[in-house]
Structure 1
Amino acid sequence: MRLSYSALDTFKQCPQKYKFQYVEKISAPKSKEAIFGTLIHSALKYFHEPELIISPTEEDLLSFWSANWAPENFPDTREEAALFAQGVQILKNYYAKNAGQKFNILALETSFEAPIQASNDTHIITGKIDRIDKTDNEMFEVIDYKTSKSMPAQKIVDVNLQLSVYHIGVANRWPQLIKENRSIKTSLYFLKHGEKLSSIKTNEHLSRAQENIIGLLEQIKKAHQEEKFPPFPGPLCAWCAYQKICPVWKHKFRTEKIFFNDQDIKTLINEYVFLKNEIDERDKKMSEIKQTFSKFMDQENMERLFSDEGYISRQLIQRFKYDPLLLRQILE
């Protein structure tokens, strides 16, 4: 198989979306977030373009932003104005932090491909890296720009799939990095916050990344063979362009009445939601009563309470909480 990082990530997020996008190749319009991010990336590429004799000024950078901004991509005029202003602020902040610095840039928006051997199959992993620098201490640094609102914890960055894939891509382009046992720096630059989160990758990390990706490739191969691509509902569904055809969401977009055994499905859903809310209210009240019992038992040093209708006992239950990311690393 020949798969991009985006395809790998999409499968991890939701196999059903992967099927729509990469198997059935159903085209979908770019989201406003994607359009915004693409233009920001273009502006930063322009800012760092090594072929320019004179580095762009802040005015040049903002002029590039204005010249390439297309209001028609954003139907909501208020949202369009807010995003334009947001882009201006991001670029101003970036310029203030980076102008005048001498970066040793090896590549900008450079594509890569790397072979991955899994069982008897050779897969090709592809992708595009925003920027590759060589730092003052002779270390290669991979930089990926992010326009997202949130910024993850460092431990999430350390196991980030995208940075792992980019590490493989860089190591394939410059094999001497592996031979010389040289670490590389992988960074996510969160532009809205002006913060760069980095993780140092060694040959050991490279081997682990390859193993994890091989595991993911095996899952994808199995999904293709069995033709099973289940949907994974989650927070990202809100931004998915395939909602109207997704088995989890498509009913929401059906306008005509749907009957089953002469019953209107939406009416049944309303009834179910009403009953569920009643149950939730009852459970909430039960929880409050239990708390009262517990406080009374603590006060009176009792473990069982009696009434004419029966009795209530208190039982200690021990629960364990796991870090899902670390647990996944161990299991993989």
Structure 2
Amino acid sequence: MEEPFTIPLNDKKGKGLRIGGKIDRVDVLPDGTIEIIDYKTGATIPTQKEVDDNLQLSFYALAATNIPHKPFGKKPEQVKLSLYFLDQQEKISTVRSADELRKATEEIIGIREEIEKSDFKCSDHIFCQNNCEYSLLCRASE
């Protein structure tokens, strides 16, 4: 069951960003910690280092530490992050520290800043204007 979420992130100047996603699976483990599992199909299995550096998993850990309701609201060390490769029936897991989550927040804010600076080609097609998932960032009406 997918668990949708939205979390607020702030840069050092206090400029906010709300960002969301969907977690494939959340298990509450016997010791009260949680495991967030992201299912992968048709993917090459990454190295442990690649999993340890995976920004998507860091983002899920940010969600698990920032969402106040159960089963979330955990400390970073209480969140196990796993990629499960369905084709190979293999799981690779990792955890994040508070410092790693701070760095991930900075990286996500940096990506937002790069997106804001970019020159995207805008479409004036009516379908795009009414249904674009990037409408909050779109400058088509400028």
- TM-score normalised per structure 2: 0.74
Identity rate, percent: 39
Point out the structure with the larger strand share.
2
What is the distance in 1 between the residues matched to 2:73 and 2:46? 32
Superposition pairs for residues 155-166 of structure 1, below 5 Å?
A: 155-166=49-60
Q: Which amino acid aligns with 1:128?
A: K
Answer yes or no: is 1:193 the counterpart of 2:84.
no
Residue 168 in 1 paired to residue 62 in 2? yes
Provide structure 2 residue ranges, at least 5 long, that are not aligned to the other structure.
122-142
- Which segments of 5 or more consecutive residues in structure 1 lack a partner in the other structure? 1-107, 230-332
How many residues of Structure 1 are paired with residues of Structure 2 in the alignment? 117
Counterpart residue type for residue 38 of structure 2: D
Is the CA contact (8 Å cut-off) linking 1:183 and 1:203 kept in structure 2? no
Which residue of structure 1 lines up, in the alignment, with residue 4 of structure 2? 111
Q: Which has the higher helix share?
A: 1
For 2:78, the aligned partner's letter is S
User: Paired residue for 2:48, among 144, 154, 165?
Assistant: 154
What's the counterpart of residue 125 of structure 1?
Answer: 19
Cα gap change, 1:221 to 1:120, in 2 (>3 Å): farther
Contact 2:8 2:18 (8 Å CA) reproduced:
yes
Classify the secondary structure of the residue corresponding to 1:207.
helix
Residues 1:110 and 1:122: Cα distance change in structure 2 (over 3 Å): same
Partner of 1:325: none
Question: What are the Cα deviations for residues 108-131 of structure 1, in whole angstroms up to 9, with x where unaligned?
Answer: 301000011123521111000011
1:135 corresponds to 2:26: no
TM-score, normalised via structure 1 length? 0.33
What is the Cα-based RMSD across aligned positions, in Å?
Answer: 1.9
Q: Is contact 1:116–1:210 with CA below 8 Å preserved after alignment? A: yes
**Counterpart mapping for 1:274-289 below 5 A:** none
Whole-angstrom CA distance in 1 between matches of 2:43 and 2:73: 37
Write out the 4+ residue segments of structure 1 that deviate beyond 4 Å after TM superposition.
none
